[in-house]
Chains A and B, each alone.
Chain A
Amino acid sequence: MVDATISAFIQALQENLIAPLQQMPVAQLKLLDTTHDQSVVDLQNVMGQLYAPPDPFQGKASDMLAVALEDYYAAENRLSTYVTDEISERISCFIQACQQVVSELETQIKALQASDPTVMAASTLVAGETVDLMGPDESPIVPIAQLVVVGLAGAAYIVGEVKQLAQVEQICAIVRQWEATMNELAAQPEPTLPPSLDLSQSVVVDMAGMNGLSPEQQREVNDAISRLTSLGYSVDYSEIEALVRAGYQFSDVVAAILQSGSFAVFNDTAVVSMMKQLTNAQQLKMVAIVEAYRKTHPDLTSHQVYNYLRYTQMKSQLISLMDDISGKNPSNPIAQTIATMYPANVLALVVRLQQKVGNNLLSITDPFTVTDNKLDGWYHNLTGAWGEWAIIQDYYKQGKLVNFSAPTTGGEVDIQISESGVTKWVEVKNVQNLNNAWSKALQQAKNLVVNNGAKDVILQFPQQDASTGPSPQQMNNLTQLRKAYPGVNFEIRYGPSIPFDPPANNWGTYIP
């Protein structure tokens, strides 16, 4: 139970509420808002220069900045909504409520002090219970319900004189109103600021646009940058752009290349041309292979990477071709029939391919070390065999095929056909340029005539036509041969149109 006088109550009120609020630093409170207000105005004026002629800031980053500023200004406008005096509503209401409570309390206290001093001195404030108070009217008991219960500071006080009851009640109501106002102000949320501005992505888009990249390439650049920055890597825009410009179409591959520090070996036209034939997953696998290999071979060159890819492609072509010739390709019924009808010939062709290409190529354990010469040699033999096989199938479809890959004196004959009852010996040269193949073709023709008695010899060039066939000088060589063997018919045949390169569908599956 607390027992205190009215004068103590007044003194406590003055010291703990009135005096502090009277000392409120109004100037500093206002300064908070006016400083901020001026700061936002300054920002608007200064930023406005970026959008003014003659040379405004323009592009995606500019647009993004403008939108962010618009959001910011809108938020700060809500924050600084005036009531009066260029002060925010929150601070303005705060100052007003504090000044008002002081004024009202002072008035009420004066009234309370003006009460009968005798009564005032005799009155007590008692905590939380009904008590007997012998006032001037000699009332024995004042029911608690008729007294003023003051809840300040969690205590209940009872005043036993009716007039004072009303005055104290009024004071308490004023204090409670101030408390409520403060709580209400505190509960009012401040306007939310827009998120922190980040122009880096927009700048990248602008840069890509300035450099003439396509929207897809811009997105790829952005994605690669996002990937790298999210992983904590510093971004070298020029390298990302170079890879995208070179033709890499997957941002995760671009990021992986840069992340592995393999930019130099992958930013190579020849390597890119091979990489572009791979799927996204296969490209990532290749990047990982290079990264691992470089740990022990830091001097790995882009050409070695190119040769690795070329080797892998060739391996795929070889295996596919051998399967096709052997009749193992379920989607090639003609090859399956030929394999059944000419098993010995098929075997001979496969064995020749194995000997000239397969044995060597398939024994390679480190494709990064394969030389150009080896690759060129394998490729020459591979394309040659592929050309033969394509022509064999063509003659079979025409119903003319008699024999192929058959041993002869001094070598073998590519194909033998029968046209109008005449057996013809066919030498196939699947080459893009006749220069190196022409003399070999003539030599083989002569061999077929001299050593094997051929009377009809066909030199067949699937990659050429009349306009790209033998030169006059080369035709002169053939004329000489015809003169030497007048009883033999030498024919040049072009086509049929076949790809020069053996099929290499999804060769990336051969990347280990």
Chain B
Amino acid sequence: MPIAPPPENQGSADDIISYPTDLMSEVALTILQRTQQAMQNHQQAWQAIQRWIEESAPKFSQLGVGLIDVRPYLTNVLVPHAQRLQASYEWQWNAAQTLVSAIEQIRTTDQNIARSFTPETSTAGNLSSHGKGLAR
């Protein structure tokens, strides 16, 4: 980071619909792999932090009373943050899964449409006969 804004050519022109399904699959797969790796790294780091918090329990002392227990302070700051980061990975994971679903949805429909309405066959991967550059 810092994170740049999304590409300016985001979205589409009003009259163009295009689903580059091969590229979409590749992107979704890459995101899934990288997110999974990031979640593993996150988990390992967090386990070490959790151990440290647990080991910070008050020790017996000659004072006779507990002076301070730092664990709630540490937990209250760190746990929400760790959970928020975890939620961020889950958002990414979900976004990739949604992309996969969209690909499946469009491929299934393309096959149905091909069977129902269009005698021509679409090229593998891309919806060239329906999805690319079709003007509404």
Q: Which A residues fall within an 8 A CB radius of B?
A: 2-5, 7-9, 11-13, 15-17, 20-21, 23-25, 28-29, 31-33, 35-44, 46-52, 55-63, 65-70, 72-73, 76-77, 79-80, 82, 86, 88, 90-91, 94, 125, 152-153, 155, 175, 178-179, 182-183, 185-186, 190-191, 193-194, 196-200, 203-204, 206-207, 209-212, 236-238, 242
Number of interface residues of B (CB under 8 A): 84
A193 to B88, CA, bound (A): 7
Given the complex, which residues of A lie within 8 Å of B78, measured CB to CB?
A: 29, 94
> Do residues B12 and A76 form an inter-chain contact, with CB atoms below 8 A?
no
Contact A186 B73, CB 8 Å, known A16-B67, A155-B65, A199-B102: yes
Query: In whole angstroms, how far apart are the Cα atoms of A236 and B52 in the complex?
Result: 53
Given the interface pairs A32-B45, A199-B99, the reply to whether A237 lies near B12 with Cβ below 8 Å is: no
**Bound CA span A211–B10, Å:** 23
Cα–Cα distance between A63 and B14 once the two chains are bound (Å)? 10
Check: B61 CB closer than 8 A to any chain A CB.
Answer: yes
Hey, which chain B residues are within 8 Å of A206, CB to CB?
17, 19, 106, 131
Q: How far apart sit A82 and B78, CA to CA, in the bound complex (Å)?
A: 17
* Cβ-defined partner of B19 (8 Å) among A8, A59, A175: A59
Residues of A within 8 A of B16 (CB): 58-59
**Contact indicator B77/A20 (Cβ below 8 Å):** no
In order of increasing CB-CB distance, the 7 nearest A-B pairs are A58-B12, A66-B10, A238-B112, A186-B76, A20-B56, A63-B11, A182-B73
Q: Closest chain B residue to A238 by CB distance?
A: B112
| B28-47 Cβ-contact flags toward A at 8 Å (1 or 0) | 00110011001001100110
Q: Which of B46, B82, B130, B132 contacts A55 (CB 8 A)?
A: B132
Looking at the complex, which one of B3, B42, B68, B116 makes contact with A41 (CB distance below 8 Å)?
B3
Residues in A whose Cβ lies below 8 Å from that of B55: 20, 23
> Which residues of chain B are near A25, meaning CB under 8 Å?
48-49, 52
Q: Which residues of B contact A21 (CB under 8 A)?
A: 70
Q: In the complex the two chains form, what is the Cα distance from A88 to B80 in whole Å?
A: 13
The one of B7, B20, B64, B95 that contacts A68, using a Cβ cutoff of 8 Å: B95
CB contacts (< 8 Å) of B56 on chain A: these are 20, 23
Q: Does B124 contact A (CB under 8 A)?
A: no
Residue of A whose beta carbon sits closest to that of B13: A58
A182 contacts B77, C-beta separation under 8 Å: yes
CB pair B49–A41 under 8 Å, yes or no, is: no
Q: Which of A48, A67, A76, A203 contacts B102 (CB 8 A)?
A: A203
- Whether A238 contacts B116 by the Cβ 8 Å rule is yes
A49 vs chain B, min Cβ distance (A): 6
On chain A, the residues within 8 Å of B92 by CB distance are 39-40, 43
Q: Which residue of B lies closest to A53 (CB)?
A: B9
Given A57-B12, A238-B116, 15 more A-B residue pairs with CB atoms under 8 Å apart are A8-B61, A8-B62, A13-B68, A29-B49, A49-B27, A50-B20, A51-B9, A59-B19, A65-B95, A66-B7, A77-B1, A94-B78, A182-B77, A197-B95, A242-B116
A61 to B19 Cα, complex, angstroms: 9
A-B contact pairs, 7 of them (CB 8 A): A9-B67, A20-B56, A48-B7, A70-B6, A193-B87, A206-B17, A237-B105
Q: B38–A39 contact, CB under 8 A?
A: yes
A296 to B6, CA, bound (A): 58
Across the interface, name the chain A residue whose C-beta is closest to B108: A237
Residues of A within 8 Å of B121, CB to CB, are none
Task: Say whether A237 contacts B101, CB under 8 Å.
Answer: no
Partner among B41, B109, B132 whose Cβ is within 8 Å of the Cβ of A238: B109
**Do A179 and B73 have beta carbons less than 8 Å apart?**
yes
Chain A residues whose CB sits within 8 angstroms of the CB of B116 once the complex forms:
238, 242
Residue of A nearest to B60 (CB): A15
Task: Output the least CB separation between B47 and chain A (Å).
Answer: 9
